[in-house]
Chains A and B, each alone.
Chain A
Amino acid sequence: MDEHRQRQIDQYLEGELTGKDLAEFEQALANEPELEKELALQRDIEAAMREPEIADLEEKMANIISEEAGTVRQMLSPRWFMTIAAGLSLLVGLAWLIGSLGTSPHTPEEIYQSYINSSIDLTSFSATRSSVTNIRENDSLFKALQRIHAHYQAGAYQSALDVLDEHPVFLQIYPDLYYCYKGLFFLQVEQLDSASVTLERGMQGQGDFVESSTWYYTLLQLKKSGNTQKVRDRLEVFTSYDNDYREASINILKQLKTD
């Protein structure tokens, strides 16, 4: 498109073409598809520029999306994970230390208490599991999860249970997380039968938390049944492959052998 035609388009859109010039341009429009397309483009560009309300709405939406996505990205940043990983390493180290010291607990009840009452940091505990990674993408659900964690860390186990039950979507979409958390909360409030039933359900499904449900169920069996072969067999399973509870299982089995 040459500059002469471009100027004609500009003048035409501003109503400055008149008489012979206008007739000539309109004739050209009828005969030159390229000219017609260029005019359509210029009309669209102008129309786009004359929508200040929509431009304002788009800008607001873009800012909101950017801020909200930024919040999620910040939570998923390597630094955040490094902090979690460091915390987790510390917990594992402490657990190993407890297991290695001569003063470590020996009775099944003491062993159970040491693992249930040791400060389980739910945020660290759940951080790298894929269901929690998905939950992070749902702002309201993630906030609910954070409230659950905060209640738990404050020792408000019943409140943590209440928030969990206020959000049936946890059960619908993340049943492994739901049963594991609920079972753990029941353990903390000493509702052992409810814990047992809940954890058993958690062991039957699929997902990142199934192993944790199995672990807490095993600890519960240790508390209820004592140092039995069945409990030791359950613990042996954890020692046979790489998992979060392998070291703890090895330590518990050592303690049970010297019992």
Chain B
Amino acid sequence: MPLPDPTDSEAYYLKGIRERNPKVLRQMYQAFFPALRKHVRANGGSKEDAEDVFQDTIVVIFRKLESPEFSLRSSFGTYVFAIGKRVWLHKISRRSKRPQTSLEDAAILQSESPDLQVERTEKYRFFREKLKQLGEGCQHVLKLFFAGESMADIAKKMGFASEGYAKKRKFHCKQQLTKLVKADPRFRELTGTTNPSAYG
């Protein structure tokens, strides 16, 4: 799997993230994960922590790419590492209340704190993980609902007797999902964050 020409690599990687191209995502993992893992492990994290950090880093970059103001002011590798360090600091700061971004990293990150994006990325990934723990029926109902399907269509697709029953089932499934979320110890950790508007 050859790596791109270095002169085109920034555009290549950014396009790969935008398109969620598995080949490019794998190349990024191979090129940038080792350095990030080394950093995470050198700062008290495990290999699994490093994997979560890398995954969240790519998602944070994906979110940033949605902004029309996005511009890359360093090499892509430097940028990934700076975001990754930030993601890891965000995780450990929940435990130790440590200060976060260095001045150098702030410049790379365009003086914009990615904290809210990091927080959202972690939290939303957690919620999606909990969805996968529901029964298949509930997962399907909620996926259809969140995809914007009407209750009438959900009832039809799921073979429910009525739209009213579909609505009742959807409410019940949301309740189950909420219970799963609240029962997980990570919920406390994720919501005891720096965001003052956070629940919990």
Give me the interface of A with B, judged by CB distance under 8 Å.
6-7, 10, 36-38, 40-42, 44-58, 60-65, 68-69, 137-141
Contacts and interface: CB of A to CB of B under 8 A. Distances in A.
Interface stretch (B5-13, B24-32, B104-112): B24-32
Interface SS of B by simple majority? helix
Instruction: Tell me which of A42, A58, A69, A138 has the highest count of chain B C-beta atoms within 10 A of its own C-beta.
Output: A58
B58 A61 contact: yes
Contacts, number: 96
Contacts of B171: 6-7, 10
30 contacts: A7-B171, A10-B174, A40-B198, A41-B178, A44-B127, A45-B127, A45-B178, A45-B181, A49-B127, A49-B128, A49-B131, A49-B142, A54-B59, A54-B121, A55-B128, A57-B58, A58-B55, A60-B25, A61-B25, A61-B54, A61-B55, A61-B59, A64-B25, A64-B29, A65-B51, A65-B54, A65-B55, A68-B30, A69-B47, A141-B34
Contact of A44 (B37, B59, B123, B174): B123
Nearest to A138: B34
A68 B62 CA distance: 21
Contacts of A7: 171
Given A51-B124, A140-B31, 19 more contacts: A6-B175, A40-B199, A41-B181, A42-B178, A44-B127, A48-B128, A49-B142, A56-B20, A58-B128, A61-B29, A61-B59, A62-B55, A64-B22, A64-B25, A65-B33, A65-B55, A68-B33, A137-B37, A139-B34
B200 interface: yes
| Contact size range, B | 35 or more
Contacts of B175: 6
A37 B47 CA distance: 34
A139 B177 contact: no
Nearest to A143: B30
B94 interface: no
A61 B54 CA distance: 9
Contacts of B143: 49
A141 B177 CA distance: 44
B20 A53 contact: yes
